[in-house]
Homo-oligomer: A and B are copies of this chain.
Amino acid sequence: MSAIPAYAAADWGTTSFRAWACSADGTVLGERRGPDGLTSATERGFETVLEGHLAALGLPDGAPAMMCGMVGSRTGWIEAAYLDTPIGLDGLAAQATRVPGTRRPVFILPGLAQRSATEPDVMRGEETQLLGVVADGYRTGFVCMPGTHSKWVRLEDGSIDAFSSFMTGELFQHLRTASILRQAVEGAEGVDPALPAFAEAVRDVLAEPALLTSRLFQIRAGWLLAGRSSDEQLARLSGTLIGMEIAGAKARYGDLTGAALLASGPIAQLYETAFALAGFGAFHPLDADRCVRHGLHTAAASLFDLNPTGSPS
């Protein structure tokens, strides 16, 4: 294994940037994370931002970069295609869009589109994680991918059969910071899934999803009237929205026992707790970081002529 990176992998989203310098066999040699989301990159220039990170990672000139995420959206660097579902993931890399005019080969993987009159949906970035999930051997079942726009995906023998997005994370951020609920949750630092309020909120919304927008207002009312703490009310907000997402996935797909949960860090704990409250007998934990790196490596290995014995420059 050479210590000189053979390629870079990057997951570039609306509000975050993560890149890894990798050897030809996918071993991670270095990592960069930053808040360089699309808005700031649009101002500073996408190639400037990317090359700054790749220089810090010691990526040789000419070594290629494989990217996924909202960088390939209409409001990103360049629009990468949407491939239609149902779809097997084998051909994903072959459909990557090469960014024109860059110093080094830079590719953006396509997103996926569910072109349904009644259930239109899109994803960008998650398809690459799913490529890693399938490469890891989880080929049939449901995958829950928490996030700004959480995805629930039905895999059938390694193919993406159907999926649904839920605005869970975006609504949480908005309601927490800019809504009438702001004062009720101000000062809370994070969501503690061990608080009874989290479990109560999950149970309430699972029992009666129709009351969602009333339950949200009650977070303010409970603060005004009962002096409930901001920690308690933030847990309630999180439990309400995560519970709603699970209620929606159950309504759409039925029994979700054994679903894979693709998450890392604190958010994984929240969903694990909610899964248990929803009565899922068991679930299959997957590390989100590992899956996206695995997916990007799978794509890079299929598209690039990586040279494991020397510098690719």
> Chain A residues in contact with chain B, CB under 8 A?
74-75, 82, 113-115, 117, 119-122, 149, 164-168, 170-171, 174, 178-180, 183, 208-214, 216-218, 220-222, 224-226, 241, 244-245, 247-248, 250-252
Contacts and interface: CB of A to CB of B under 8 A. Distances in A.
Nearest to A209: B210
Contact of A244 (B210, B225, B248): B210
**Residue among A115, A183, A251 with most chain B CB within 10 A:** A251
A164 B214 contact: yes
Given A179-B170, A217-B167, A113 B211 contact: no
Given A165-B217, A211-B248, A225 B119 contact: no
A121 B226 CA distance: 10
Contacts of A241: 213
Contact of A224 (B122, B174, B179): B122
Contacts of A167: 179-180, 213-214, 216-217
Given A164-B214, A213-B244, A221 B180 contact: no
A102 to B, nearest CB: 26
Contact of A165 (B121, B165, B221): B221
Contacts of A225: 82, 113, 115, 120, 122
A78 to B, nearest CB: 16
A69 to B, nearest CB: 14
A166 B121 contact: no
A14 to B, nearest CB: 8
A178 B174 CA distance: 9
B252 A149 contact: no
A74, A114, A212 interface centre (most CB from chain B within 10 Å) = A212
Contacts of A250: 210
Nearest to A204: B118
B174 A221 contact: no
B164 A170 contact: no
Contacts of A121: 217-218, 221
A272 to B, nearest CB: 20
Given A115-B225, A209-B210, A248-B211, A179 B174 contact: yes
19 contacts: A75-B183, A113-B225, A115-B225, A117-B226, A120-B221, A120-B224, A122-B220, A164-B211, A167-B216, A167-B217, A209-B209, A209-B210, A210-B248, A211-B248, A212-B244, A212-B248, A213-B244, A213-B245, A214-B248
Contacts of A251: 208, 210-211
A121 B252 CA distance: 31
Which 10 residue pairs of A and B lie closest in terms of their CB atoms, listed nearest first? A209-B210, A210-B251, A120-B221, A210-B247, A165-B217, A166-B213, A167-B213, A120-B222, A210-B248, A211-B248
